[in-house]
Structure 1
Amino acid sequence: MKGAATMVREPIRRVTVGRWSAELLPRQPYEAQYVADRPILGFAFESQAGAHAYASDRIRPFRARPNGLAYVPKGCDVFSRSSAGGEYLILRGFELKGPSGVPFSDRSDSAAAAAAHALRRLVLSHAPCDSLSYEAPIIALVERLQSHMDQEPDRRGAADSMTAARLKRIEEMIEARLGGALTVQELADELGLSTGFFARAFKAAAGRSPHAYILDRRLARARALLASGIKDLCAIALATGFSSHAHLTTAFRQRLGISPSAYRRGLAAAAVGHP
């Protein structure tokens, strides 16, 4: 690929809307230990693996699925570490009805996924937005969390067929082929399932349709290449499965609310402001 490569670390992005505050954490290794001073809603955009412990329980290995909803009640002590991490959204300042409940993570919820992706798009775009624009996805996320607090989600049916091992196998296949042609039929064939059943099972387990998930992963790879300092957008497009620079730019704008060039300028500005 053409152009000198200089790695730029992606910043933590923060937004405050009234009593709500949101943090968008970039993919990076981490180790965190804290006691929650208020309830925390978390959302993992990517798969993550590492070790964690809640409420003084013993430290256990974990592998979290993509588009997973998480919750930590006030007063809960948390330990978590990962050698790679993953892009993660944290929301604070909300109120829940009823008991505070117990912590959980890795809950699949397509409505929560849609709201989290909409909120990420606003945070990344840097475009001036009124509070109402941010409130809609924030409220939707809190409502989905309340739903999980009120009643255990129904995990029967198609979701049962997408085991953790199967989901990991499909994720690895997608990552290995992001730069080339890939169809949902091929993914279904990998597991010996019909295309329709596979699509339903994948969405139930991963919170997004296979098509949306593949596009999310291609954009995540493109963001990483932009941060690495590669300047040739055509080369980035071809390396991430897009047919052209224009195709990449359109997907960036539609999904992330910003062009690749503007995204790269934002990274450079953040690097100057945070040496």
Structure 2
Amino acid sequence: MCRPGWARARTAAQHLEDLARLRRVRDRIDREYAQPLDVEALARGAFMSAGHLSRQFRSAYGESPYSYLMTRRIERAMALLRRGDLSVTDVCFAVGCSSLGTFSTRFTELVGMPPSSYQRQAADATAGIPSCVAKQVTRPVRHRESQPTAAAAAELQPA
């Protein structure tokens, strides 16, 4: 059964409007990652239901809004830990996490080691590398199959 032309146009227009809303949600997460954000609040701001936002966001970006938020938080935490002047607890709260346990668990899932271990190793591993390059090289990757093997990670360590 074919849709009338106006129905197809409405569907395409709605799709573009949803993509613009999703981009605004992603931009808000990028800007306000340290604020208390939850999917319901993000959905209200995008005039969507939480379920619809989650489905659409995952379809567009490959991960849920919560996963994207936690990746941004962990990415910022990695930069703060590399600086070495804050404790793990201070970093946890600085990036918007309210639970040290949840922060440590997520950090370990994404980075492959606890934040305290990362802090000890990161200072040596990124010494002499510009921070903009270190950020790109050390960016957390959620998908385990795309993470480097232990042998490849060892090659990155200075001798």
Report if aligned partners of 2:84, 2:123 keep a CA contact under 8 Å in 1: no
Equivalent residues of 1:252, 1:259 under 8 A apart? yes
**Alignment match, 2:39:** 184
Kindly state the Cα deviation for residue 242 of structure 1 after the two structures are TM-superposed. Answer: 1.5
Q: Map 1:227-266 onto structure 2 (within 5 A).
A: 227-266=82-121
C-alpha distance 274-173 of structure 1, shift in aligned 2 (>3 A)? closer
1:76-155 aligned at under 5 Å gives the runs none
* Structure 2, gaps ≥5 residues long: 1-10, 131-159
Q: Structure 1 residues 162, 200: closer, same or farther in 2, change over 3 A?
A: farther
**Residues 218, 191 of structure 1: CA spacing in aligned structure 2 closer, same or farther, 3 A cutoff?**
same
Matches within 5 A, 1:156-167: 160=15, 164-167=19-22
CA offsets per residue over residues 74-133 of structure 1, 9 Å max, x none? xxxxxxxxxxxxxxxxxxxxxxxxxxxxxxxxxxxxxxxxxxxxxxxxxxxxxxxxxxxx
1:170 corresponding residue in structure 2: 25
Instruction: Give RMSD over aligned pairs.
Output: 2.7
Alpha-carbon distance in 2 for matches of 1:249, 1:177: 20
2:25 & 2:49 partners in 1: Cα distance?
15
Task: Call closer, same or farther: CA 1:162–1:212 in 2, change over 3 Å.
Answer: farther
For this pair of structures, how many residues does the alignment match?
A: 119
For 1:226, the aligned partner's letter is L
Distance 2:17 2:95 in 1: 26
Identity percentage of aligned residues: 34
Contact 1:178–1:217 (CA<8 Å) still a contact in 2? yes
Which one has a larger percent helix, Structure 1 or Structure 2? 2
Question: What TM-score results when the alignment is normalised by the length of structure 2?
Answer: 0.63
**Amino acid of the structure 2 residue aligned with 1:202:** F
Distance 2:115 2:34 in 1: 17
* TM norm structure 1: 0.38
The answer (yes or no) to whether the contact 1:234–1:244 under 8 Å persists in 2 is no
TM-fit CA distance, 1:161: 5.3
SS in 2 for 1:230: coil
Q: Which has the higher contact order (CA 8 A, sep 6+)?
A: 1
Q: Give the gaps of 5 or more residues in structure 1.
A: 1-155
